[in-house]
């Protein structure tokens, strides 16, 4: 494709007043992107374009497209159009598939088997660890992890995949020149070097609230399924789950404590038919053939050191949950003195059976 063609595709992607469906219909009628832009007003009306759409087509600021193309050329950013062979097959199936993708990194990942992982921007420490652990394990099984580069669960999913030398894809709600949040600039560069950065927005698009729910359809659209780790009832992660359902993708959710507000979104999804997930194998089994991507992964289980513990330590361990348990609560439950409990907790920590958290102690 020539640079001139890319300019027209960049312009097409910029014209939000028209939308993917109208452009694809126009391409069928006019044959190629340049002829569509150069068509007369009467021909465009006959093709079904509205007055507003025609005005947008005929009054586009071409300096904007030139600026975006120049940035792509100097920043190793590829432009993938919906008519290219490299355009992701799964994404092409969805309603209102983006007509242009700006990408940096390993283009082969566009059609790699992916699992989306999303969740709260303010997760619990347990939620962070689960996201990191599941991403690490699933990439070891051959999946790529797709998420949105947001704070919290998204970031831990990306980091978990990278920690296993696996592949991860970050879908932007901004242009690729506008890292958001800015604190994730280093993470974005690591992903560009070991995975893929993707945006449907032109490189200089700043953060806009409406764009983030819109990009969620791409996160699910690229993937075979979506795993929700922690999410409140009003979480944007549930928007991704809704898109996944509409697109015929699998939806997975990790349950949590009934006292944790960030578990309520997951519990809602499970009641609506999402697959309850306890281990990575639950996901691989549901996705069927993907379990053969690599050697079988290890089952995620809690340590068996409990069996060798002295009875008093084992009894104390029974009073500590997988959510943080306050020291005072442990003392009341066990009936022991504060000195006795503190000494025993230290022993359990040294044996790597529990860990100290901001809210108390929890099982590992």
How many CB atoms are closer than 10 A to CB 4? 10
Task: Give me the pLDDT at residue 287, please.
Answer: 83
Task: Give me the pLDDT at residue 59, please.
Answer: 93
Decide: 25 and 66 in contact? Cβ < 8 Å.
Answer: no
H or E stretch covering 362: strand 360-363
Task: Give me the pLDDT at residue 286, please.
Answer: 87
Distance CA 124, CA 325 (A): 13
**Cα atoms in the 13 Å half-sphere on the side-chain side of 290:** 22
Q: What is the CA radius of gyration of the chain?
A: 24
Between the CA of residue 363 and those of 41, 323, 345, what are the distances in Å?
A: 68, 8, 11
Task: Give me the pLDDT at residue 306, please.
Answer: 63
Task: Give me the pLDDT at residue 206, please.
Answer: 96
pLDDT digits (tens, 9 = 90+) for 275-322: 999 999 899 888 865 545 544 444 444 445 566 788 899 899 889 877
Q: Which residue, chain included where needed, has tokens 């999303």?
A: 118
Which residue from 142, 90, 146 is spatially nearest to 118, judged by alpha carbons?
146
Torsion (CA) 270, 274, 277, 283 in degrees, nearest 10: 180
Q: Residues 6 or more apart from 312 whose CB is under 8 A from it? A: 344
Task: Give me the pLDDT at residue 68, please.
Answer: 97
Give SS3 for 193: helix
Q: Residues 6 or more apart from 273 whose CB is under 8 A from it? A: 251
* Tokens representing residue 89 in the block: 């097959």
b/e for 111-150, b at 16 or more Cβ within 10 A?
ebbbbbbbbbbebbebbbbbbbebbbbbbbbbbbbbbbbb
Using 50 as the pLDDT threshold, list the residues of the chain that sit under it: 291, 294-303
Q: What are the E-state strand segments in 182-257? A: 196-199, 225-228, 250-253
Distance CA 272, CA 246 (A): 13
pLDDT digits (tens, 9 = 90+) for 105-116: 999 999 999 999
Decide: 138 and 163 in contact? Cβ < 8 Å.
Answer: no
Between the CA of residue 300 and those of 19, 274, 290, what are the distances in Å?
A: 45, 20, 18
Q: How many whole angstroms from its chain centre is CA 44? A: 38
Q: Residues 6 or more apart from 315 whose CB is under 8 A from it? A: 334
53 dihedral zone (left: phi>0; alpha: psi -120 to 50; beta): alpha
Task: Give me the pLDDT at residue 301, please.
Answer: 42
């Amino acid at each position: 494709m020539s640079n001139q063609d890319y300019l027209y595709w960049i312009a097409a992607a910029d014209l939000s007043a028209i939308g993917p469906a109208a452009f694809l219909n126009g391409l069928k009628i006019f044959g190629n992107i340049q002829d569509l832009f150069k068509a007369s007003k009467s021909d465009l009306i006959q093709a079904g374009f509205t007055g507003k759409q025609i005005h947008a087509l005929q009054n586009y600021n071409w300096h904007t497209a030139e600026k975006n193309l120049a940035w792509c050329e100097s920043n190793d950013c590829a432009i993938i159009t919906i008519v290219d062979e490299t355009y992701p097959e799964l994404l092409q199936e969805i309603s209102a598939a983006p007509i242009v993708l700006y990408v940096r990194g390993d283009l082969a990942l566009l059609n790699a088997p992916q699992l989306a992982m999303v969740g709260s921007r303010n997760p619990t420490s347990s939620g962070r660890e689960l996201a990191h652990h599941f991403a690490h394990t699933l990439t070891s099984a051959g999946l790529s992890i797709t998420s949105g580069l947001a704070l919290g669960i998204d970031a831990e999913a990306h980091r978990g995949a990278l920690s296993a030398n696996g592949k991860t894809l970050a879908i932007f709600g901004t242009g690729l020149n506008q890292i958001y949040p800015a604190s994730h600039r280093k993470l974005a560069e690591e992903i560009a070097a070991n995975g893929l950065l993707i945006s449907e927005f032109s490189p200089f698009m700043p953060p806009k609230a409406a764009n983030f729910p819109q990009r969620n359809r791409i996160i699910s659209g690229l993937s075979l399924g979506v795993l929700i780790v922690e999410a409140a009832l009003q979480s944007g992660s549930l928007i991704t789950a809704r898109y996944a359902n509409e697109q015929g993708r699998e939806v997975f959710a990790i349950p949590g404590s009934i006292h944790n507000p960030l578990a309520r979104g997951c519990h809602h999804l499970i009641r609506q038919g999402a697959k309850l997930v306890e281990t990575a194998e639950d996901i691989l089994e549901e996705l069927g053939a993907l379990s053969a991507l690599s050697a079988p992964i290890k089952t995620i289980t809690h340590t068996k050191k409990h069996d060798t513990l002295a009875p008093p330590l084992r009894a104390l361990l029974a009073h500590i949950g997988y959510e943080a348990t306050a020291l005072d609560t442990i003392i009341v439950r066990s009936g022991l003195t504060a000195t006795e409990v503190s000494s025993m907790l230290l022993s359990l920590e040294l044996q790597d059976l529990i860990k100290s958290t901001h809210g108390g102690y929890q099982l590992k």
